[in-house]
């Protein structure tokens, strides 16, 4: 079991980020509930954040991004909060006007 | 026994496993709970990478703020018909093929660079006293990069001016967004259109 004792590198963090990103993309594509789509977006942004933090960590590489990675991760967290607030307001508006949260029913603008 | 590696695999398994559970579950209330556990385990990964402040903010803003907002959304729309929405199996097949291809590509890329695969040799010599604390992040947001004072390359010095402008932009952005969200979410239930929507 050498992989349990070897120190982890950036690649291991990138793999976790990739799994979360793909889960978010699949979640966005398959969920019919509008709030499920929002949860997929949160997963995607979080997967990206893991990559930024991993590349900014000086425990993993000597030539790291340093504080840049952590600062960009903080900006992404704030943007995710703002995006969730607006998207939730839109979803609630949609629910109030159409009495459904199914994204397949949001086809009024369809040509 | 390498505790750093062991804890990394624990948190990685938790965050990945619960992220997959978010996708696999069709009940939106359970999805919200799985998402909370997944994002909290991600905060553990941030701590392991040495980003203490980002990990704390992940728990405070993401788990404490954004997900509470999402759960309120779930509760406000928790009509019996919308709690559990089943996806068509043909959609699942398409998503699995596309997602598997994307995951394979990303995993191959992640392990393709030799420098990324192994940790730095002198990992034990790195201490967190080298300025990875909240004060240096705060000073970087104010426009001072205390961690890069000794930048050798003179051409790179211009880029070391900190993050004051993005900080201001994001502050105004957050204010505008929250006012806009409060305006959008005001209850103006149109009774006529609701009955039309139900049909």
Taking only the tens place, the pLDDT of each residue in A24-80 is: 999 999 988 889 999 999 999 999 999 999 998 888 877 777 788 889 999 999 999
Minimal CA separation from A110 to chain B, in Å: 16
Asked whether residue B124 is assigned to any structural domain, the reply reads no
Q: Residue B197: its pLDDT value, please?
A: 46
What count of CB pairs under 8 Å joins A to B?
273
> Does some domain include residue B93?
no
pLDDT bracket for residue B44 (50, 70, 90): very high
Q: In B, which residues are within 8 Å of A51 by CB distance? A: none
Which residue of chain B comes nearest to A6, CA vs CA? B5
Q: pLDDT digit string (tens) for B139-167?
A: 888 887 776 666 666 766 666 677 888 99
Same domain, B71 and B140: no
How many angstroms separate the CA atoms of B79 and A38, rounded?
18
Q: For chain B, what is the domain count?
A: 2
The answer on B76 and B15 residing in a single domain is: yes
- B72 shares a domain with B143: no
Delineate the domains of chain A, giving CATH numbers in brackets.
7-102 (1.10.287.3510)
Chain B residue numbers with beta carbons less than 8 Å from the beta carbon of A41 are none
DSSP lists the bridge partners of residue A49 as none
Domain extent, residue B11, equals 1-85
Q: Are residues B56 and B136 in the same domain?
A: no
B184 and A89 Cβ atoms separated by less than 8 Å: yes
In a domain, B97, yes or no: no
**Which pair of tokens denotes residue B180?**
């806009």
Q: Is residue B179 situated within a structural domain? A: yes
Which of A12, A34, A56, A91 should one mutate to test binding to chain B, selecting the residue with the greatest count of B CBs within 10 A? A12
CA dihedral B114, B116, B121, B124 (to 10 degrees): -170
Same domain flag for B2 and B68 = yes
B6 CB neighbours in chain A (<8 A) are 4
Does residue B152 lie in a domain region?
Answer: no
pLDDT tens string B53-100: 999 999 999 888 888 888 888 888 887 777 787 888 888 999 999 999
Measured CA to CA, the distance from residue B16 to residue B87 in angstroms comes to: 22
B94-119 pLDDT, tens digit per residue, is 999 999 999 999 999 988 888 888 77
Structural domain includes residue B13: yes
Predicted local confidence at residue A84, as pLDDT: 92
Angle between helices B3-24 and A10-30 (to 10 degrees): 10
Q: Does the residue B94 lie in any domain?
A: no
In the predicted structure, residue B18 carries a pLDDT above the cut 90? yes
Residue B155 distance to chain A (closest CA, Å): 17
Nearest to A11 by CA among A50, A42, A68: A50
Radius of gyration of chain A (CA): 18
CA geometry: angle B104, B40, B25, nearest 5 deg: 60
pLDDT computed for residue A98 by the predictor: 83
B71 located within any domain: yes
Task: State chain B's mean pLDDT as an integer.
Answer: 83
Q: Least CB-CB distance to B126: which of A14, A15, A58?
A: A58
Q: Which CATH number belongs to the domain containing residue B65 in this structure?
A: 1.20.120.1200
A60-82: burial string, b at 16+ Cβ within 10 Å, e else: bbeebbbbbbbbbbbbbbbebbb
Q: Which residues contact B45 (CB under 8 A, 6 or more apart)?
A: A13, A16, A50, A53, B8, B11, B12, B15
Q: Minimal Cα–Cα distance from B107 to chain A, Å? A: 6
Query: For position B199, what pLDDT does the model report?
Result: 42
Of B136, B2, B115, B128, nearest to A58 by C-alpha is B128
């Amino acid at each position: 079991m050498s992989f349990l004792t070897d120190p982890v590198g950036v690649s291991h963090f990138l793999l976790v980020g990739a799994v979360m990103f793909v889960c978010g993309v699949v979640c966005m594509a398959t969920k019919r509930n509008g709030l499920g789509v929002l949860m997929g977006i949160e997963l995607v942004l979080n997967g990206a954040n893991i990559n930024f933090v991993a590349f900014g960590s000086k425990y993993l590489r000597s030539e790291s991004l340093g504080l840049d990675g952590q600062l960009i991760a903080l900006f992404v967290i704030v943007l995710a909060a703002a995006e969730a607030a607006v998207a939730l307001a839109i979803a609630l508006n949609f629910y109030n006007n159409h009495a459904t949260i199914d994204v397949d029913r949001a086809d009024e603008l369809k040509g | 026994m390498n505790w750093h590696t062991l804890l990394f695999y624990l948190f990685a398994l938790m965050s990945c496993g619960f992220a997959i559970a978010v996708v696999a579950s069709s009940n939106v209330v359970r999805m919200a709970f799985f998402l909370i556990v997944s994002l909290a385990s991600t905060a553990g990964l941030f701590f392991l990478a040495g980003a203490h402040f980002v990990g704390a903010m992940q728990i405070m803003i993401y788990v404490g703020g954004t997900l509470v907002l999402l759960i309120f959304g779930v509760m406000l729309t928790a009509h019996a018909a919308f709690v559990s929405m089943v996806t068509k199996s043909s959609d699942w097949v398409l998503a699995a093929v596309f997602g598997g291809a994307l995951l394979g590509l990303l995993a191959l890329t992640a392990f393709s660079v030799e420098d990324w695969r192994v940790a730095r040799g002198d990992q034990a010599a790195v201490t967190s006293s080298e300025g990875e604390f909240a004060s240096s992040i705060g000073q970087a947001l104010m426009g001072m990069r205390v961690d890069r004072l000794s930048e050798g390359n003179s051409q790179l010095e211009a880029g070391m001016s900190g993050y004051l402008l993005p900080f201001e932009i994001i502050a105004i952005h957050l204010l505008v967004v929250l006012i806009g969200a409060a305006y959008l979410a005001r209850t103006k239930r149109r009774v006529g259109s609701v009955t039309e929507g139900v049909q």
